[in-house]
A and B are shown apart, each in its own frame.
Chain A
Amino acid sequence: MTQAPATDAVQKERSMILQKEMIADHYKQLEHVAETGRKVVYTFVPGNLNELIRCFDNLLPVHPEINALQNGMRKRTGKFILDAEKQGHSEDVCTYVKADIGMLRAGNIGPAGTKLPNPDLLLLSYTGCFTFMKWFELLREEYKAPVAMLHTPYQGDGTISDHMRNYMVKQLREEVIPKLEQISGQKFDIDKLREMLARSREAENDLVAVLESAKHRPSPIDAYFGGVYYIGPIFSAFRGTAGAVEYYRALREEVEARVAAGKGPITPDGELKEEKYRLVVEGPPNWTSFREFWKMFYDEGAVVVASSYSKVGGLYDQGFRHDPEHPLETLADYCFGCYTNLNLPSRVALLSKYVQEFHADAFLINSIKSCNSFSAGQLLILREVEERTGIAGGFIESDLVDPRYFSGANIKNRLESYFQMIMQKSKGAA
């Protein structure tokens, strides 16, 4: 074991407390919309227009993906998925969708244990993954709620043209904003949106500093298992809020202190004392056995220094920042740049860049059984990244929130083999 005693783990840092409070407060607000009269907008993480929703001060967002993954971490999704399958949803359908449908059937009690309100609007802003469209089609039937659709063109050739941007802005003006106005009963205020975008930018700067800190040796963070917590506020209901600004400032300070002290990342079993492997990881994590999965890494002294999953809600580390001067155009650019909207060559280029810039000695793909948008082409990515970087890739398979597809012994076996292979290669000969 390379961790300090578990007592370190229970010592919550300020950022952890802030995040917990923000989330708890949000679910509380959602629980009480009947009394407060606030309206609810369901929407997605990749292509999340949080600032636009929240500049209407009586609107609250709900992210079904976040509910699904949070329920996965709380071991609730196995039953939800079975219930959805009973309704006729096939075994191969995205398990986020089935977990959401199952939760709905079970009374829509969210991960916080409180009832989630029905949507007043389904804001179908999605990037790269067409399952989102089908998902809201299902929810439209379930809730009889209206849909506002924002179609983000795929970056098929790896570039964003003015034409694409104008197309998005037109949709925002003519489809999305009018529907938000209609639901909220308020007039859209572009200056309020600018204020939120300015706050987004501030938080994004701090988030990027946190992600970049992994270039240090040892890395003070785990950019995958820890990373999913770090991206939580900015990918969900809080981007553009004062709370997010405070959270990311606190997080950055903590991480910078760890860098100064030469400390490794914090794991559930305490601080990682010895960094043996530096990994870049492609693909989402498994949520139903998240702790067990993470432990398989830190027990081996493996730290993820960069991951693609932590970019599904925005590729800030590649220079994009929300721009208050061009509020609608910047929302369009944000949507274009989400990781799932990138074509395969762009993904290969980005992952190879991560391997080089973060001085990684390993590249691992966690291929998700029920997520075609992530998984299609991953073996090609693996070969290409190996070719470009000269490091040997590893490949494991699991699922997002279907516990049936997490085979702990198999994954552990592969990971151990992979780490030993990296070690053996680094030594040259057997």
Chain B
Amino acid sequence: MKLYVGIDLGSTTTKAVVMQDGNVILGKGITNSRSNYDTACAIAKSEAFIDTRFTLFHQALEAMPGLSLDLETFLQDLEASFRLQQFLNQLEYLAEVSIGEAQSARYRKVSAPLAERLNAIFSSIAGQAPEMFGVGSIKRSEFFRDLAGNTYMRLASELAEPDAVPYDLLVNIYDKSIIKVENKLLDLTFESNIAKALKRVFAANRALSKADQQTVQRCADEVTATELDVVNSVGTGYGRARLPFPKEQIRSEILCHGLGAHYMYANTATVLDIGGQDTKAIQVDRDGIVTSFQMNDRCAAGCGRDLGYIADELNLGVQELGPLAMQSNRSVRINSTCTVFAGAELRERLNNGERREDILQGLHRAIILRAMSLLARSGGVSDEFTFTGGVANNEAAVNALKGLIEENYGRRTINISPNSIFTGAVGAALFAQKTDAPAAVH
């Protein structure tokens, strides 16, 4: 099977998209960007291939006559089981690294009680994992670092003893170990983990007929054996220069977001992308070709990282900010155009007795006001308008944006894809289908 891969190496997350001839998306993968870009890229790509094989698996099962199971429910269960399996594999390695760390000479005096607590923590996390990955469970993050870290910290605070194994020591062990885990390429592929995931689903679903189990197993084997042949890859995003691609396989994220947005919504004329550390206002023509753009410069206020900073200040997950702000019925004006000052303003407002929800709504509006300025500079908001990037998943940001667009430009069709975070990678995958290297303009 001939495939094209687009990779968007962003400052916060790395995304990969696998595309088939005819511009059909087969798989998407995402991971948190980390100090080692090569690893982030490899993991996002591996995730996109897992997703691709799940798509192929889905297609194969759909084509099977006589299958009596509820396919959608079964696949949801299987994917949850697969994610659990990946989590357990990573957890196992994290436990190994952490316990190894605890045995180093500097912890000699506390090595026995430390190992005992670490074992208790990791076995407790493993015990809680099936619930974390149950269908419909709400997670603060999709990434192993956050999922394992949140539970670890909670357990560490419960099990710590100031005189024997202090909390800071347990945190220190985690911080050191998670970096090693994140930068190790573990085998989390479909091929290596689907069997265990299937076994768990079969065991949990006694009602599944033997015939269905055999069919499913046969399809899984076929999909596992399918050769995925990558014809071309294109990279984009802030870390694109670090990708192991020749120059002609690197595209600016502006072009990728423009083309990706056009792919998702063919009538797109204006694109706003709010990423981790930059905001881009892009105008495209009817073919998705960029005609004008503006980006924030010198200052990252108004970008996704702004929200991350505020989330840290409030000890919340970044995904919790939007829903909290949506509970507000009165927006507090945040004047600061600087991320750090906005944090100071936030604390002051809290001290003054303002509600957290109201402050957050004001903050979302402040962020969107910065984007409005870039949109104006790039040529305004034309119909249709497509909002992309991670912040497009934030309902409060979207609400503020809709209001300000209508106020300034009148009614516009506003497109937001649930997959908006992949827009850049989609654009890159589309470019990957264009194998021609850049030549002179004239």
Contacts and interface: CB of A to CB of B under 8 A. Distances in A.
Contact of B252 (A301, A393, A417): A417
Interface stretch (A230-238, A272-280, A345-353): A272-280
Contacts of B289: 421, 424-425, 428-430
A301 B377 CA distance: 27
Contacts of A426: 441-442
A361 B440 CA distance: 11
Contact of A423 (B259, B288, B379, B438): B438
Interface in B401-435: 430-431, 434
A379 interface: yes
Contacts of A417: 252-255, 290, 293, 295
A383 B292 CA distance: 10
Contact of A397 (B278, B292, B298): B298
Contact of B297 (A217, A396, A420, A428): A396
Contacts of A429: 287, 289
B291 A392 contact: yes
A407 B293 CA distance: 18
A114 interface: no
A217 B440 CA distance: 12
A297 interface: no
A395 interface: yes
A383 B294 CA distance: 13
B265 interface: no
B287 A413 contact: no
B297 A424 contact: no
A414 interface: yes
A392 B379 CA distance: 12
Contacts of A186: none
Interface residues of B, number: 28
A77 B379 CA distance: 36
B365 interface: no
Nearest to B440: A276
B238 A430 contact: no
Contacts of A276: 438, 440-441
Interface string A396-422: 110000000101011101101110111
B441 A407 contact: no
Given A421-B255, A430-B287, A277 B431 contact: no
* Residue among B295, B297, B377 with most chain A CB within 10 A: B297
A17 to B, nearest CB: 33
B207 to A, nearest CB: 49
B252 A430 contact: no
Contacts of A411: 297
Q: How large is the interface on A (under 10, 10 to 19, 20 to 34, 35 or more residues)?
A: 35 or more
Contacts of B293: 417-418, 421
Contacts of B292: 386, 392-393
A414 B377 contact: no
Interface string B134-145: 000000000000
A275 B440 contact: yes
A174 B251 CA distance: 62
Contact of A361 (B255, B294, B442): B442
Given A361-B441, A425-B289, A430-B288, A420 B251 contact: yes
A410 B288 contact: no
Nearest to B430: A430
* Residue among B253, B254, B293, B441 with most chain A CB within 10 A: B441
Contacts of A393: 292
Interface in A239-289: 274-278
A413 B434 CA distance: 22
A420 B259 contact: no
Nearest to B252: A417
Contacts of B377: 379, 395
A430 B259 CA distance: 8
Contact of B434 (A277, A369, A430): A430
Contacts of B287: 428-430
Nearest to B280: A417
A205 to B, nearest CB: 30
A416 B441 contact: no
B298 A421 contact: no
B438 A425 contact: no
Given A407-B298, A421-B290, A429-B287, A277 B441 contact: yes
B255 A420 contact: yes
Contacts of B442: 217, 278, 359, 361, 426
Nearest to B253: A417
Interface string B269-299: 0000000001000000001111111110110
Nearest to B442: A361
Interface in A44-60: none
A414 B290 contact: no
A405 B298 CA distance: 7
A430 B297 contact: no
* Residue among A276, A395, A405, A424 with most chain B CB within 10 A: A424
A393 to B, nearest CB: 7
Contacts of B440: 274-276, 301
Contacts of A420: 251-252, 254-255, 438
B297 A407 contact: yes
A301 B442 CA distance: 12
Nearest to B299: A407
Contacts of B430: 430
Nearest to A405: B298
Interface string A353-371: 0000001010000000100
Nearest to A406: B298
B238 A424 contact: no
A359 B278 CA distance: 33
Contacts of A424: 255, 289-290
A416 B252 contact: yes
Contacts of A379: 377
A330 B194 CA distance: 85
B28 to A, nearest CB: 20
Contacts of B379: 383
Given A359-B442, A424-B289, 5 more contacts: A277-B441, A393-B292, A397-B298, A420-B254, A420-B438
19 contacts: A301-B440, A361-B441, A392-B291, A407-B297, A410-B295, A411-B297, A413-B238, A413-B278, A414-B295, A416-B252, A417-B252, A417-B253, A417-B254, A421-B291, A425-B291, A426-B442, A428-B287, A430-B289, A430-B431
Interface of A: 217, 274-278, 301, 359, 361, 369, 379, 383, 386, 392-393, 395-397, 405, 407, 409-411, 413-414, 416-418, 420-426, 428-430
Closest 9 CB pairs of A and B: A417-B252, A417-B254, A426-B441, A397-B297, A421-B290, A429-B287, A276-B440, A420-B252, A361-B441
